[in-house]
Amino acid sequence: MQFGIFTVSDITQDPTTGRTPSEAERIQATLTIAKHAEEVGLDVFALGEHHNPPFWSSSPTTTLAYIAGQTSTLQLSTATTLITTNDPVKLAEDYAMLQHVSGGRADLMLGRGNTGPVYPWFGKDIRQGLPIAIESYELLHRLWREDVVDWEGKFRTPLQGFTSTPRPLDDVPPFVWHGSIRTPEVAEQAAYYGDGFFANHIFWPASHTARMIALYRQRYEHHGHGTAAQAIVGLGGQVFMRKNSQDAVNEFRPYFDNAPVYGHGPSMEDFTQQTPLTVGSPQEVIDRTLGFRDYVGDYQRQLWLIDHAGLPLKTVLEQLDLLGEEVVPVLRREFAKDRPADVPDAPTHASLVAAKYGDAAPRQATPRANRGDNLTAGSPYQDAEPVAAAASGSSFGPAATRTAGAR
């Protein structure tokens, strides 16, 4: 089982000091947090995607690639990547590249996001959010598995003879989690493809999360990917800890009361009772987290939000120390007890390669005659005469058909 943290990249005023960090400070703090997550023995760091203040993470792959170069074991993921407003062709390219530069330590969580205005910013209609998500992932799934793709849909221009580059590392695409808080269609999509389903599990009661995961497990088995118990499940959560429970409650209260997402709403006591938010001692976090298995079954990935709502970097690093030293070692041991042998671990690049190739050497994509030239119908260059350099053997090869006048 994997344990880690995720961040939504908010830049929020510290309510105890009145100070708001700059974008530069918050970005550098996030890099420090990610590196420290590996240092304390966590498995995963996941980064959200937003295109509006007060969030800074508009380009997760750039940030995660930098973190990959600063770490050696940390699995890098997203929380979430917007399948609705990103072009699936660009997603295929960016995350395959991240997979290569990280040595396979990359996967991604796809979602629709929770910011309505982002749709028109990227030329999309929010009323078509679900159909866009379904169509875009169908294309992304094919781009990673087919060297040459012919495709036509409703929400983007067609592709003819298109090859996404680079090809996935070892010809094994990054593992995909489909993230959702409340949308059954997302659980169905994850089940249909045999992908993972990640329930954010922060804002809704346990009964709702249990129903969503039960649906996903049932449909995973229906689509023939394995038994319901073998479905790949991840959970989000949020914790704040101090050695003494009352100290945690007193310290976190002003941050909770002013948090940009749930602040100025229910009391912290009501919220912790009705959702999985845990504010208390490390033992309380252990007990609460172990209880998740009672209503979702054995699962593969647990991520916590620990840097939200203006918490200073020093406090976040202290939370990481408590997770790494006191919480996660106990959870690893306890979750392993009585875990059925047929329940899989969280997928990694190594496990996916082994499942595909066994003892054989993985296929490494190289330029071949049957790869696409990425010239689609209607291209202004399609019927143009080659320039002299192309005709005389330019390094662009037979696809170099630009005219001298084309710029």
- Mean pLDDT throughout 350-376? 83
Residue 367's pLDDT band (cuts 50, 70, 90): low
The upper half-sphere exposure of residue 11, i.e. CA atoms within 13 Å in the direction of its Cβ, equals 18
Average pLDDT for 51-60: 87
Answer with the residue of higher pLDDT: 406 or 72: 72
Average pLDDT over every residue of 153-168 = 94
For the chain, first and last CA: distance in Å? 53
181 — pLDDT class (breaks 50, 70, 90)? confident
Comparing CA positions, the residue from 319, 243, 335 lying closest to residue 287 is 335
State the pLDDT at residue 262. 79
pLDDT at residue 113, as a whole number: 66
Q: Above 70 in pLDDT, residue 80?
A: yes
* pLDDT digit string, tens, across residues 304-325: 999 999 999 999 999 999 999 9
Confidence of residue 368 (pLDDT cuts 50, 70, 90): low
Mean pLDDT of 361-388: 59
In this prediction, residue 389 carries a pLDDT of 33
Residue 378 has pLDDT above 60, yes or no: no
Higher confidence at residue 50 or residue 165? Answer: 165
Alpha helices in 297-374 (DSSP H): 313-322, 328-336, 349-357
How many helices, marked H, and strands, marked E, lie in the chain? 14, 13
- pLDDT per position as a tens digit, 95-115: 999 999 999 999 999 987 666
Name the pLDDT band for 391 (thresholds 50, 70, 90): very low
Q: What's the length of the chain?
A: 407
pLDDT at 401 over 60: no
Contact between 109 and 177 under an 8 Å Cβ cutoff? The reply is yes
- Asked if 375 contacts 382 with a C-beta cutoff of 8 angstroms, the reply is yes
Confidence of residue 359 (pLDDT cuts 50, 70, 90): very high
398 pLDDT more than 60: no
- pLDDT average, residue stretch 209-229: 97
Q: Is the pLDDT of residue 136 over 60?
A: yes
What is the tens place of the pLDDT at every residue in 231-264? 999 999 999 999 999 999 999 999 999 987 777 8
Burial 27-44 (b: 16+ CB within 10 A, else e): bebbeebbebbbeeebbb
Give 370's pLDDT tier (boundaries 50, 70, 90).
low
Identify the structural domains of the chain with CATH numbers, from first to last.
Answer: 2-357 (3.20.20.30), 377-407 (no CATH)
pTM of the model: 0.89
Write down the pLDDT at residue 114.
64
Mean pLDDT rounded to a whole number for the chain: 88
